[in-house]
Structure 1
Amino acid sequence: MRHYTKDNFVLTESVGFALVKARNLIVTEMDAAMKELDISSQQMGIMLMLKEKLASTPFELSKLLGIDTGLMTRMLDKLESKGLVVRSRDEQDRRVVNLSLTKAGTAVAAQIPEIAPDVLNARLKGFTKTELNDLRRLLRKFVGD
């Protein structure tokens, strides 16, 4: 089904506009909350992925987080310069770069779950449990998961 046509398309009423606006709100609020840890919301995602062992290479992180490889490299450079992440060459395939959290990075990553839920809960305060589950389901459907 075609939901939009040139005749009924209004930017501010489009799903894309709402998603971008929602993303920007969350990023701004999460960035402010993560300031005390000296990381951004995007860096937070990298650190949590490494902490939970959901990714171990820049390429895997790029795919999971939907970040282009150039931006990923710059963010990893910043995290490495802060002493939070370390890169190492894979022993079996020297072309592969493995990532891991340093001791300091592990300590910072451990603090994220103490901060991030408050940001999300503030934004979701008017949602019922059913509405939140519906939102999650619809977003998974939208992104094709």
Structure 2
Amino acid sequence: MSLYHEDSFLPVQRIVSALSKARHLLTADMHAAFAGTGVGSSHVGALLLLSLGIACTSVGLSRLLGVDPGFVTRIIDRLESQGLVRRDRDNPDRRVVNLTLTEAGRNVAARIAEIVPAVLNRRQSGFTPLEFAALSSLLGRLVDE
């Protein structure tokens, strides 16, 4: 079913604009919350995925974060230079580079796990639990491929 046509596409622009603004606001909130930690908002996802053991390679991070592999490489380079991540070659397949959080990286990831919920809760405070569940469900359907 097509909801929009050439003569009625303005509501789409409104949805796209709202989604873009929401992303921008959340990114700005995260950036402010992480000021002084040495971690940028673009590093948060990688650190959390590594700390939870959901991803352990750059390729895995790239897929899960939905970003370019080159972008992930730059993130890992930065985290490694800060002493938060270590790269190790896989024994059976030397082409694979496994990523491991250092102790400092685990400490930062633990701080992230404290900071992110507070930021998200502030931004979502105007929603009732039912409204938030509906928003989550609708956005899930929007991005489901």
Using structure 2 for the length normalisation, give the TM-score: 0.93
Q: CA deviation at 1:14?
A: 3.4
**Which residue pairs with 1:60 in the alignment?**
60
In 2, Cα distance between equivalents of 1:55 and 1:7: 45
Q: Residues 72-91 of structure 1 correspond to what in structure 2 (within 5 A)?
A: 72-91=72-91
Letter in 1 for 2:33: A
Tell whether the 8 Å contact from 1:50 to 1:100 is kept in structure 2 after alignment. yes
**8 Å contact from structure 1 (residues 76, 85) kept in 2:** yes
Is the 1:48–1:109 contact (alpha carbons within 8 Å) kept by the matching residues of 2? yes
Counterparts in 2 of 1:1-145, with a 5 A limit? 1-10=1-10, 13-144=13-144
Does structure 2 retain, via aligned residues, the 8 Å contact 1:89–1:98?
Answer: yes
Instruction: Please tell me whether the aligned partners of residues 11 and 17 of structure 1 are also in contact (alpha carbons under 8 angstroms).
Output: no
Distance 2:144 2:8 in 1: 25
1:59 maps to amino acid: V
1:142 deviation in Å? 1.5
Deviations 1:59-118 (A, max 9, x none): 111111111111111111111111111111111111111101011100111111221112
Q: What letter is aligned with 2:119?
A: V
**1:40 and 1:135 mapped to 2: Cα distance?**
27
Q: Counterparts of 1:22 and 1:135 in 2: how far apart (Å)?
A: 13
Distance in 1, Cα, partners of 2:48 & 2:97: 18
RMSD (Å) for aligned C-alpha atoms: 1.5
Equivalent-residue separation in structure 1 for 2:51 and 2:68 (angstroms): 21
Tell me the SS of whatever aligns to 2:112: helix
Q: Percent identity?
A: 47
Which ranges in structure 2 are unaligned for 5 or more consecutive residues?
Answer: none
- Residue identity matched to 2:70: G
> 1:134 corresponds to which letter in structure 2?
A
Please report how far the alpha carbon of residue 131 of structure 1 lies from its aligned counterpart in structure 2 after TM superposition. 0.8
Q: CA deviation at 1:52?
A: 0.4
Whole-angstrom distance in 2 between the partners of 1:138 and 1:11: 16
Q: Which amino acid aligns with 2:131?
A: E
